[in-house]
Amino acid sequence: MKVLVAVKRVIDYNVKIRVKADHSDVDLTNVKMAMNPFCEIAVEEAVRLKEKGVASEIVAVTVGPKAAQEQLRTALALGADRAIHVETDERVESLTVAKLLKGVVDEEKPDLVILGKQAIDTDNNQTGQMLAALTDMGQGTFASEVAFGEGVEAGEVRVTREIDGGLQTVALKLPAVVTTDLRLNEPRYAKLPDIMKAKKKPLETKTPEALGVAVSSGLTLLKVETPAERKGGVKVGSVDELIDKLKNEAKVL
């Protein structure tokens, strides 16, 4: 079974972001970048499927600027077999990414596509669902468990999903799209020898034009602002004072 994993280069989750002075966007110059945490979980799941003998090949794909190849090398170091870089310097919306990934899916014909449930920069939580729609596949979003084999019918994947009230389990006909939630797994760290080996693994570059996709968007980003600052309040001296303030001042008890 071939697994396609999509990864995104984003600001490292520990970085305190700065909004540009002209409010056009968040300032990305000289900021530490990393693989989106949910994408790390997607790569880990693909690697585990390969270790279980379910997956035979893992292809990592990213859409983004030249520098995003760093994240593809990370995916290769973690266990992906080869990588595809769809290179564009444009701001790409989820719909465009989904269309570009559809182009890759049409060429690669994977049995399973794994993505993170959302990128921690745009926080859209859209791409996996959109890709599933465009490729007419079933979708297992916010997955906390992905199962093949015993108890699962051939030609299907069983996905346990995190929903607001608990968990829901669905069976999807393959090929299918799965997006990862935090609970799915604990991603491993890449070891130095694997990082060295990853440099020799194949990495193919494609353009949106070659995939027949126009990078356009129905959305215009008008401005980006810093949210209202929260002011620190008062320190209270005792539990009694705290309860009194919550009851009579804040009126939340």
Partner 1 sequence: MSILVLAEHHNGQLAAGTAHVVGAARAIGGDIDLLVAGENVGGVAEAAARLDGVARVRVADNPAYAHQLPEPLADLLVALADEYSHVLAAASTEGKNVLPRLAALKDVSQISEILGVESADTFTRPIYAGNAIATVQSSDPLKVITVRTTAFDAVSEGGAASIEALDYIADSARSRFIGEELAQSERPELGGARVVISGGRGMGNGDNFKLLDGIADKLGAAVGASRAAVDAGFVPNDMQVGQTGKIVAPDLYIAVGISGAIQHLAGMKDSKVIVAINKDDDAPIFQVADYGLVGDLFEILPELEQKL
Among 57-65, 81-89, 91-99, 204-212, which window interacts with partner 1 (CB under 8 A)? 91-99
Strands 82-87 and 57-64 turn out to be parallel
Nearest approach, Cβ of residue 185 and partner 1 (Å):
11
The interface with partner 1 within residues 214-233 (CB under 8 A) comprises 217-227, 230, 232-233
Among 75-83, 131-139, 190-198, 200-208, which window interacts with partner 1 (CB under 8 A)? 131-139
Q: Which is nearer to partner 1, 57 or 138 (CB)?
A: 138
Strands 112-116 and 166-173 turn out to be unpaired
Which listed residue (44, 45, 81, 93) binds partner 1 by CB under 8 A? Answer: 93
Q: Which two tokens stand for residue 237?
A: 């001296």
Q: Do residues 169 and 159 make contact, with C-beta atoms less than 8 angstroms apart?
A: yes
Among 47-55, 75-83, 94-102, 190-198, which window interacts with partner 1 (CB under 8 A)? 94-102
| Amino acid, res. 185 | N
Nearest approach, Cβ of residue 146 and partner 1 (Å):
13
Picking from 213, 177, 246, the residue whose alpha carbon sits closest to that of residue 4 is: 177
Which listed residue (95, 113, 143, 215) binds partner 1 by CB under 8 A? Answer: 95
Nearest approach, Cβ of residue 202 and partner 1 (Å):
30
**For residue 2, what is the enclosing H or E element?**
strand 2-6
> Which residues, including other chains, have CB under 8 Å from residue 61's CB and lie 6 or more apart?
4, 5, 6, 7, 72, 83, 84, 85, 86, 101, 104
Contact between 33 and partner 1 per CB under 8 A: no
Which listed residue (169, 191, 209, 210) binds partner 1 by CB under 8 A? Answer: 169
The CA distance from 50 to 156, in Å, is: 17
Which listed residue (154, 192, 214, 252) binds partner 1 by CB under 8 A? Answer: 252
Contact between 21 and partner 1 per CB under 8 A: no
Q: Which two tokens stand for residue 162?
A: 């995190």
Picking from 126, 69, 141, 133, the residue whose alpha carbon sits closest to that of residue 93 is: 126
Contact between 137 and partner 1 per CB under 8 A: yes
Q: Which is nearer to partner 1, 163 or 210 (CB)?
A: 163
Which listed residue (33, 82, 125, 211) binds partner 1 by CB under 8 A? Answer: 125
- Sort 39 into a burial class: Cβ within 10 Å, 0-12 / 13-18 / 19+: buried
| Size of residue set near partner 1 by CB under 8 A | 80
